[in-house]
Chains A and B, each alone.
Chain A
């Protein structure tokens, strides 16, 4: 048995049976990170001492039979989740030395459930990007091929789980930032329903779209992670009072007819999206067949406003960002540039030195779209189109249990390939943005590889608060394909 091959489920079994200790598991993974992360750059911060302390404490708890869901399991966090006493940079120079005075709610819940926080992962600055190339600190590479991006913005978390540096990780998804890197790195990525998971202690990018979710190697592990982080939180007024079901029920049974009675919808507009890679199409068609063989009825549906999703998103998200990021003014925390003369100089120099180009670009788009004379034509109209997109989804879910689609139009692209052309990069988000715009949950599951050996995932989206259907269908799919047993050689 190799430590790094352990899923949450497998590690938990061995820990409970005292066949391994969390200390040995954690230190083995820390060694693996030390050896291999310099070529992958999944992590911004590792705190070896603290991780081993947490692991030793978990071993004590296990010895005392005080077991929680994640006791002793090493988990990584995207570096925009506030961790008390541990630097949280958001991939930005402006927060390079920021040490939060509190734990975000998801971090608190992981800790209460015994998880060992192994480190903080790299990301596109302020979660703005689809490749993790916009990090102010380093470029994360794809563990399957170091010349390629891992996707983004949660590229560090996806790469860390793919490279077997941790059993699971958390990321955040504003327009696909969990599902797309999960697809590019060959792991499971789940974006829960908006409101399912508290955003308290998540550094905000676009508050009406942001949602925290897990990266895991199996669908079952994704259910376990969601169980721990889901639920109402009085500290987040947008967190839903909805009851959290027992997600393990999604894995009750697996047989060849496990998904009989479920209906998958395939939006006809998705099939005519320009520039879908033939290998992605192949994987998609095979996935459809697998689900049909499991008893799923597949039918064509329509999401009529698909063609406007990217345009509406790239107004709404930058508008919210321009408002959210106004707080980084050098006054109370973060970078301060005092090379100028007065307060205005301090604001401008702090922001311009602290924010990278993509962040500044989105702040300016947002400022423009919210400014007098343009508000109605841009933000107002985009918000109306968002209502239409939501209605498309409500109607679609009247006739199907989940929507099946590719995650990204193509497998991971080469590092540097799209850096100079922001619009082309935005257009690759076409299949993932809608779930955020409509607030529905989505999951990305490994479904195949390209001829170059790069992973390709498929996406399932369900109606609000129906993560159960995603886990159930995803589990059946995964158990048939068995891709969870493949991983990159480092």
Chain B
């Protein structure tokens, strides 16, 4: 599988990344190289094989819906890049 610089740009946008123009070609080359290697997965006979389900445990994990003490807004918001009182603030969303 070969990846073009356009595809790098498209994927970068989906991932909310901004790849520098000077890096795009190198990134496309490296990704193509990696995906070419990964294409060997096509040789495996996976007919009827269940995909790994993401968990090795057969039971669901539940807990009671109970109120428990929490740290409160000052602790929680201590890492906020910007805040206004007990709120996080972000740049304008609607133009």
A interface, CB within 8 angstroms of B: 98-99, 101-102, 194-195, 208, 234, 237-238, 240, 305, 307-308, 310-312, 314-315, 322, 326, 329-336, 338, 340-349, 351-352, 355, 357, 360-361, 363-365, 367-368, 371, 377-378, 380-388, 390, 422-423, 426, 439, 464
A101 touches B27 (CB 8 A): no
Given contacts A99-B79, A368-B31, A423-B33, contact A346 B40 (CB under 8 A): no
Q: How far is the CA of A422 from the CA of B37 in the complex (A)?
A: 12
In the assembled complex, B67 has its CB within 8 A of some CB on chain A: no
B52 touches A348 (CB 8 A): no
List of B residues within 8 angstroms of A382 by Cβ: 41
Q: How far is the CA of A355 from the CA of B20 in the complex (A)?
A: 13
CB distance from A464 to the nearest CB of B (A): 7
A384 touches B91 (CB 8 A): no
A364 touches B27 (CB 8 A): yes
Residue total for B at the interface (Cβ-Cβ under 8 A): 52
List of A residues within 8 angstroms of B20 by Cβ: 352
A-B contact pairs, 30 of them (CB 8 A): A101-B76, A195-B57, A237-B61, A307-B40, A308-B41, A314-B34, A326-B15, A326-B16, A329-B16, A333-B79, A336-B81, A343-B92, A343-B93, A345-B91, A348-B17, A351-B15, A360-B17, A361-B31, A364-B12, A365-B35, A371-B14, A381-B46, A384-B44, A384-B51, A387-B49, A387-B52, A390-B52, A422-B34, A439-B56, A464-B56
Q: How far is the CA of A341 from the CA of B91 in the complex (A)?
A: 7
A365 touches B34 (CB 8 A): yes
B interface, CB within 8 angstroms of A: 3, 7-8, 11-12, 14-20, 23, 27, 30-31, 33-35, 37-44, 46, 49-52, 54-57, 61, 63, 71, 75-76, 78-82, 88, 90-93, 95
A351 touches B38 (CB 8 A): no
Across the interface, B41 reaches (CB within 8 A) one of A98, A311, A390, namely A311
Q: How far is the CA of A378 from the CA of B34 in the complex (A)?
A: 12
Q: How far is the CA of A315 from the CA of B40 in the complex (A)?
A: 12
A322 touches B41 (CB 8 A): no
Given contacts A314-B38, A384-B50, contact A330 B81 (CB under 8 A): yes
Given contacts A371-B14, A387-B50, contact A381 B90 (CB under 8 A): no
List of B residues within 8 angstroms of A378 by Cβ: 38, 41
A346 touches B49 (CB 8 A): no
Across the interface, A342 reaches (CB within 8 A) one of B30, B44, B79, B92, namely B92
